[in-house]
Amino acid sequence: MTQETIKVEGMSCMHCQLRVKKAVEAVEGVQRADVNLQTKQVTIDFEEGKENLEKVKATIRETGYEPV
């Protein structure tokens, strides 16, 4: 498993937090995503060999938030 942490701007409440979590967890190769509203950090656990951070970032953007 590989873990990556990115920062995401634009999340303001628990609804945003859940939307981002669900969207990221639906990306192929993502095992789990944890979203921290306070720190704006999204921690992503990828399956070995299926790390695709660019796809995750694109999905977050499509969902309406801004990965930085």
Give me the residues that bind Cu ion (CB under 5 A), please: 12-13, 15-16
Say if CB 38 and CB 8 are below 8 A apart.
no
Q: Is the CB of 37 or the CB of 53 nearer to Cu ion?
A: 37
Q: Is the CB of 12 or the CB of 38 nearer to Cu ion?
A: 12
* Burial category of 28 from C-beta neighbours within 10 Å (exposed 0-12, middle 13-18, buried 19 and up): exposed
Closest approach of Cu ion to the CB of residue 48, in Å: 33
Closest residue to Cu ion, judged by C-beta, is: 16
Q: Is the CB of 15 or the CB of 49 nearer to Cu ion?
A: 15
For the chain, give the longest Cα–Cα distance.
33
